[in-house]
Amino acid sequence: MAPHIEENVEELSKTSTSPIRTEGKGAITIRDATVDDAESVAAIGREVFTISFGYSVSEEDLQTYLQETYTEALVCEDIKDPLTHLMVACNADDKVLGFVQLIKGSSEPCVEDAENAIKLQRIFVHHESHGLGIGKLLIKMAEKVASSQGYKTLWLGVFEENIKAQKLYEKSGFIHVGEQDFKLGECVQTDIIMSKTL
C-alpha cells in the first residue's frame, strides 16, 4: 500500500483555487475540476455510491438516483454551475481518484443560524485509494477554499450508518448539530448534520 499522505502537504499558493499537493511517491494534487474531469467524476460517483450505499436502497431507487446524479452531462452542469465548486484529487498521472463539492446557498434548519455557512457535499474517494489520507486532504482543500471566500461555517449531511465518514469528519473538527431526512427515491433515510466553524 502507498504511504499515508496526510503529512507533508505543500501549499502551492495562498489563493483559494490554487491546487494543494503532497510530495514524494504517491503524490496527490487537489485542484479545481474542469469539464474534462466530468466522466471520471461520474464514474467514481456511480461506483463508490453503489459499493458504499447500494445495500441501503432498492435496486430501482439506486439506478434512478445514479441516473439523476452521476452522468457525465450532469457532472458537467455541476462544474459549470456558479453555486457549485467541484474539486478533484489526482495522482501524479493526473488520474482522478476522488472529489469533493462545495455548495453555496443550501441550508437545513439546524444550520440556519450558523454564521455565513457553505455546504460540503459528496466527498468520494475511489475504493482502491481509501485509507491513504485523500479524504482528509479533500476536506482540507474545501476548508481552504471556503475560508478564502469569507465563509465562517462548513456543514454537511452524512448517512447515519456511515460511521467511517463520521469518524473522518469528527477528526477534522466537525460536530453533530442535528438530523435531517434524506430522500432517495421511495426510501427516506436519516442524515446526521455536522458543522465546523472555520
Ligand X SMILES: CC(C)(COP(=O)(O)OP(=O)(O)OC[C@H]1O[C@@H](n2cnc3c(N)ncnc32)[C@H](O)[C@@H]1OP(=O)(O)O)[C@@H](O)C(=O)NCCC(=O)NCCS
Q: Under the rule (CB under 6 A), what is the footprint of ligand X?
A: 48, 52, 123-125, 130-136, 158, 162, 164-165, 167-168, 171
- Nearer of residues 95 and 130 to ligand X, judged by Cβ: 130
- Nearer of residues 24 and 150 to ligand X, judged by Cβ: 24
- Nearer of residues 8 and 82 to ligand X, judged by Cβ: 8
What the block records as the C-alpha cell of 119 is: 455546504
- Rounded to the nearest whole angstrom, what is the least distance from the CB of residue 165 to ligand X in the complex? 4
3-state secondary structure (DSSP) of residue 5: coil
- Rounded to the nearest whole angstrom, what is the least distance from the CB of residue 192 to ligand X in the complex? 9
- Nearer of residues 19 and 133 to ligand X, judged by Cβ: 133
CB atoms under 10 Å from CB of 143, counted, come to 18
- Nearer of residues 9 and 198 to ligand X, judged by Cβ: 9
Give the nearest residue (CB) to ligand X. Answer: 135
- Rounded to the nearest whole angstrom, what is the least distance from the CB of residue 124 to ligand X in the complex? 4
- Nearer of residues 87 and 165 to ligand X, judged by Cβ: 165
Q: Residue 185 in contact with residue 58, Cβ under 8 Å?
A: yes
CA distances from 175 to 14, 41, 78, 141, 171 (A): 27, 28, 27, 19, 10
- Rounded to the nearest whole angstrom, what is the least distance from the CB of residue 112 to ligand X in the complex? 20
* Phi, psi angle pair for 79, to nearest 5°: -65, -35
Q: What is the SS3 assignment for 59-122?
A: HHHHHHHHHHHCCHHHHHHHHHCCCEEEEEEECCCCCEEEEEEEECCCCCHHHCCCCCEEEEEE
Please, what is the angle between helix 163-171 and helix 134-148, to 10°? 50
- Rounded to the nearest whole angstrom, what is the least distance from the CB of residue 48 to ligand X in the complex? 5
- Rounded to the nearest whole angstrom, what is the least distance from the CB of residue 103 to ligand X in the complex? 13
